[in-house]
Structure 1
Amino acid sequence: MSVALQLAMNDISKSFAGVSALGGVDFTLRPGEVHALLGANGAGKSTLMKILSGAYAADGGTIRIGARELSIASPADAKAEGIHCVYQEVDTSLVPHLTVAENMMLDRIAAGKGSMWMNWSAIGREAEAVLARIGSRIPVTRRADELTLAEKQIVLIARLLVQEAKFVILDEPTAPLSLEEADRLFGIMDELKKQGIGIVFISHRLPEVKQVSDRITVMRDGKVVLSEPAGAVEPGDIVRAMLGRSFEEEYPKAAVPIGETLLEVEDIAAGHRVRGVSLNVRRGEIVAVVGLVGAGKTELSRLLFGADPADRGAVKVGGGTANIASPADALRSGIALVPEERRKEGILVGSSVLHNLSLPILKQLSGALGFLSRLSERRHAEGTIGRLGIRTASTGQLVGYLSGGNQQKVAIGKWMSTDAEVFMFDEPTKGVDIGAKRDIFRIIGELAAAGKGVLYLTCEFAEALGLADRILVMCDGAIVKQFDRGGVTMEELLYYASAGKEDMA
């Protein structure tokens, strides 16, 4: 296969149970380019890429490289044509107890080609050479379970070079990465481009899409609604194409009366990660804590929720002192947390939507004798699903099979019927598409309108500017600046978040 030939998907259609998921989609990928594929949840982009990578079979249409039509019936067929995919969940793609070199050469070792599987020094040398091609010096003798998420992604990309990939699908590759790690990934993508590899880039972060992409295609309702060179479209054009309306129309900030103080935090600290933080949240108020990765936002949320012990400090909820030594104490005090790592800490991926939503309120759903009412449990789940717009086949659907946005809605929904007065959200839109973000922002607005207090911890400064009544800037474990709504720009937030000083502003 010549690397100079274009990959083209023409008139691709796909239906599930009679419902159209793709309706005559055209998509092309040229060698040596980054083509961003965007769309809200349910737009069809994942289905299109699963057809390209062999996970799904198309109902109609063709896939060609140059003039040659491909027959892709499985992932193995796609790989044989040089089409590979790197998924967001990198941990599931590596064997943890094997070394970097062994993971990179896994397919070759498993196939037992020649004597390569026995020649470990040759494996190591080739692995080092491949990593060098993308500017990485990860020790090839390190075990995969000793790597950071960013390093694991690099190993997966290096494995694609071993397999002589010509076209690569990167599905949300920056979602788990810090800004610095994402920049390193973009450098590797540039190296792949120089080597003639075409990249499909799926991301929900519009600034990075504009930064790295050569072309941008947007899908909505199973069709392509925009496909242009990246330099010809603005972020507002992309949002309108995704949603069918503008960002301002989709996320209006409702005026909510702000009442008495619900949460008071005084001088809470833990080691060097949280250094004497004091803040308050009032009834009906959304307070954003913004900061770069590593600022201490997650550590602060864990202290307030009792997941980690504090060295010092006091917490009051509703005017009364809260002795929070565990998450159970936090819940009894009226504090709920939607954590950043939702799959590890926010939901039970192997349990149903029904059971996840009912878990915190089993006593409420049980009768006088302590037996759980299945009817009450089902009605509660159905009501929460409808209220939050959770897209699921049924209440019995396993949460692990939902999209990231719908998993996040379940993580939020399980607290909605509790007695919580203060809701903390730690990076709630991480890895979530723009349509699901709309729903999450709406839910947060409804909580504020219901008189709850909201503490919104995020590194997405634009979200804080759009949502918050007050913004606190966190840097190196401390709150360094506070702004009222409308009193700060994106540039000022970034300045203080990156250790800018007052006298230099």
Structure 2
Amino acid sequence: MPVVLAVEGLTKRFGSTRALTDASFELHAGEVLALMGANGAGKSTLVKILCGVHGADAGSMTIGGTTVAFASPRQAREHGIIAVHQTIADVGVPTLSVADNLLLDRSCTGRGPLLAGGRRSLRAAGAIAAGIGLELDLSRRLDALSIAERQLVAIARAVAHDPAVLILDEPTASLSAPESERLFAVLDRLRDRGVALLYISHKTGDLRRIADRIVVLRDGRVSGEFRRPLDLDAAIRAMVGHAVGQVARRDPVPDGAPILRLSQARLAPTAAAFDLVVHAGEVVAVTGPVGAGKSTLAGAIFGLWPLAAGHMDLDGRPWRPRSAGEAIRNGVFMAGEDRWRTTFFPGTVPFAQIAGTIGFPFLDRWGRAGLVARTAETRATRRLIAEFGIKARGPEDLPASLSGGNQQKVVLARWHAEPARLLLLDEPFQGVDIGARDDIIRAIRAQSRDRATIVFVNDLEEALEVGDRVVVMADHAVVGDAADLARISALLASPHPAVS
């Protein structure tokens, strides 16, 4: 197939930091090229150069044999390069409807309706949504959608451009297995149409399913290229510099004291009632399809909203938290799914640095009368940067200056700054490379002895790696509890599993 995109010797510096060095590769029509690299390897910098966000300091780029240099994302789009970025904040306008967001690019170029809303807009947006099989209420506001739904809106909007090159940065990070397979079917059709796809992912299952070829970046340089049959072990070695083994499952955890107990709990008035007990020292993975109610369960435990019915006990006492603050004071911590909604602050506020982000939930413990004890905050942040392997210059760095994976490590570090009685982690591996995921799992387990830990994930592979046992949810209820793959797979595949 003909070469659609070729880059030769791309180099980019940010001050004294060389983010990309002499990167070269080709992308062919009808090909899915996977781009692998550890956090901070230069993937995001490369994508931003391809999309016209950054200019390269050296090197060249050609499209269809013509040398190009983009001064803006609009110029990149005009040449057929469209990207869906990892950061969900870049998806669209939160206060507009799904329909208006799907038509946003047409409106900005004068090809769409001048006024938002209306039957014409809904018909046009419906056609875009149907292009990837997206079934959503098009009148809902974007900020009312889940992170997975917003990701699908972004993908539908990108595909509507009929791109020559489509760049997807961690597109399945928030998607369940069925949602991911729907996306793969769309990508298969695009590949058959001759679209060139640059696919960035840390998920080996994605790469096995979709990639024709892999290019690996390490420390800003191309460190390897692999063709089918793909040797993923060799690709991972090229990415991190050594072999990465699967994190070994722990021996069965002795039954500790029950920390959290839910009895006849209902997450919605019409949902089935269920029971759940989590013990001290135990790491429980909760999985299920998008919309199964995982984040709703986490929010109820953390005090963001009440149960529709039923009872919760924490350490044998009734647990009815009225706010997140009350939960934190009682040792119940939660790392939310969307880090930009739940953890990070705008860069304009004085405590937006890593240190301020980590210390914010613990102001009453680390200071007096609302005044921050900077020494304690800085000391704790330096310790956590080292423990979680966060690539940053120091506690005063802004999270926005870090790679997506290192941002996620800051989120996890925040909730390890103080001892927890119950730790809730909602999609903690988003944007985290394979080696870093192993490090995070080890860190979670190393500090889990005196607390209960619940990890909410869409990805079954992640659930099996992190959990001592796996709880399956569907239709806003717990439908099964298992420790073996066969039983878990059966529960996930069953359309109407029985509550156990």
Q: TM-score range by the shorter chain?
A: 0.7 to 0.9
Give me the whole-angstrom Cα distance separating, in 1, the residues matched to 2:205 and 2:242: 19
Partner of 2:456: 457
Partner of 2:354: 353
Give me the whole-angstrom Cα distance separating, in 2, the residues matched to 1:273 and 1:99: 28
Q: How many pairs were matched up?
A: 487
Partner of 1:246: 243
Q: Secondary structure at the match of 1:11?
A: strand
Q: Is the 8 A contact 2:52 2:76 kept in 1?
A: yes
Partner of 1:184: 182
2:276 aligned partner, one-letter code: S
Quickly say closer, same or farther: Cα 1:30–1:285, change in 2 above 3 A: same
Partner of 2:427: 427
Partner of 2:300: 303
**1:174 CA drift (Å):** 2.4
Give me the whole-angstrom Cα distance separating, in 2, the residues matched to 1:501 and 1:137: 23
Match 1:263 to one of 259, 262, 282: 259
**1:388-417 deviations in whole A, cap 9, x for unaligned?**
222234423333443332232222222323
The more displaced of 32-41 and 260-269 is: 260-269
**1:39 CA drift (Å):** 1.4
Partner of 2:173: 175
**1:8 CA drift (Å):** 0.9
Q: Does 1:286 align with 2:283?
A: yes
Quickly say closer, same or farther: Cα 1:22–1:355, change in 2 above 3 A: same
Quickly say closer, same or farther: Cα 1:24–1:123, change in 2 above 3 A: farther
**1:171-222 deviations in whole A, cap 9, x for unaligned?**
2222233433333332332332233221111122221222122222222222
Q: Is the 8 A contact 2:283 2:468 kept in 1?
A: yes
Match 2:226 to one of 219, 223, 228: 228
- Map residues 103-182 of structure 1 onto 2, 5 A cutoff: 110=108, 127=124, 131=128, 134=131, 145=142, 148-149=149-150, 152-161=153-162, 165-182=163-180
Q: Is the 8 A contact 1:347 1:410 kept in 2?
A: no
2:470 aligned partner, one-letter code: I
Match 2:203 to one of 205, 212, 226: 205
**1:151 CA drift (Å):** 5.2
- Map residues 484-495 of structure 1 onto 2, 5 A cutoff: 484=483, 488-489=484-485, 491-495=486-490
Partner of 1:56: 54
**1:305 CA drift (Å):** 1.7
**1:442 CA drift (Å):** 2.5
> Normalising to structure 1: TM-score of the pair?
0.82
**1:142 CA drift (Å):** 5.3
Quickly say closer, same or farther: Cα 1:501–1:156, change in 2 above 3 A: closer
Q: Is the 8 A contact 1:404 1:432 kept in 2?
A: yes
Partner of 1:440: 440
Q: Is the 8 A contact 2:178 2:289 kept in 1?
A: no
Q: Is the 8 A contact 1:85 1:168 kept in 2?
A: yes
Partner of 1:17: 15
2:5 aligned partner, one-letter code: L
**1:9 CA drift (Å):** 0.8
2:154 aligned partner, one-letter code: Q
**1:16-67 deviations in whole A, cap 9, x for unaligned?**
3333322322211111222111212011111122222222222322212344
Q: Secondary structure at the match of 2:273?
A: strand
Q: Which runs of 5+ in 2 are unaligned?
A: none
Q: Does 1:386 align with 2:386?
A: yes
Larger radius of gyration: 1
Give me the whole-angstrom Cα distance separating, in 2, the residues matched to 1:140 and 1:455: 31
Q: Is the 8 A contact 1:269 1:277 kept in 2?
A: no
Give me the whole-angstrom Cα distance separating, in 2, the residues matched to 1:270 and 1:126: 34
**1:208-241 deviations in whole A, cap 9, x for unaligned?**
2221222222222222233223x31144344333
**1:80 CA drift (Å):** 3.6
2:285 aligned partner, one-letter code: A
1:260 aligned partner, one-letter code: G
Quickly say closer, same or farther: Cα 1:289–1:232, change in 2 above 3 A: same
1:334 aligned partner, one-letter code: G
> Normalising to structure 2: TM-score of the pair?
0.83
**1:285 CA drift (Å):** 2.5
Q: Is the 8 A contact 1:273 1:476 kept in 2?
A: yes
1:315 aligned partner, one-letter code: M
Moved over 6 A (4+): 97-102, 115-118, 120-126, 137-141, 254-257, 500-503
Quickly say closer, same or farther: Cα 1:248–1:276, change in 2 above 3 A: same
Q: Secondary structure at the match of 2:367?
A: coil
**1:448-470 deviations in whole A, cap 9, x for unaligned?**
25x33222222322233333333
Q: Is the 8 A contact 1:337 1:424 kept in 2?
A: yes
Q: Which runs of 5+ in 1 are unaligned?
A: none
**1:227-273 deviations in whole A, cap 9, x for unaligned?**
223x3114434433333333326x35566974631413141333245
Quickly say closer, same or farther: Cα 1:39–1:151, change in 2 above 3 A: closer
**1:153 CA drift (Å):** 2.3
Q: Is the 8 A contact 2:8 2:25 kept in 1?
A: yes
Give me the whole-angstrom Cα distance separating, in 2, the residues matched to 1:463 and 1:18: 36
Give me the whole-angstrom Cα distance separating, in 1, the residues matched to 2:119 and 2:458: 43
Quickly say closer, same or farther: Cα 1:141–1:8, change in 2 above 3 A: same
1:418 aligned partner, one-letter code: E
1:406 aligned partner, one-letter code: N
Quickly say closer, same or farther: Cα 1:470–1:192, change in 2 above 3 A: closer
1:236 aligned partner, one-letter code: D
Give me the whole-angstrom Cα distance separating, in 1, the residues matched to 2:88 and 2:243: 33
Q: Secondary structure at the match of 2:366?
A: coil
Quickly say closer, same or farther: Cα 1:380–1:92, change in 2 above 3 A: same
**1:98 CA drift (Å):** 6.3
Q: Is the 8 A contact 2:278 2:452 kept in 1?
A: no
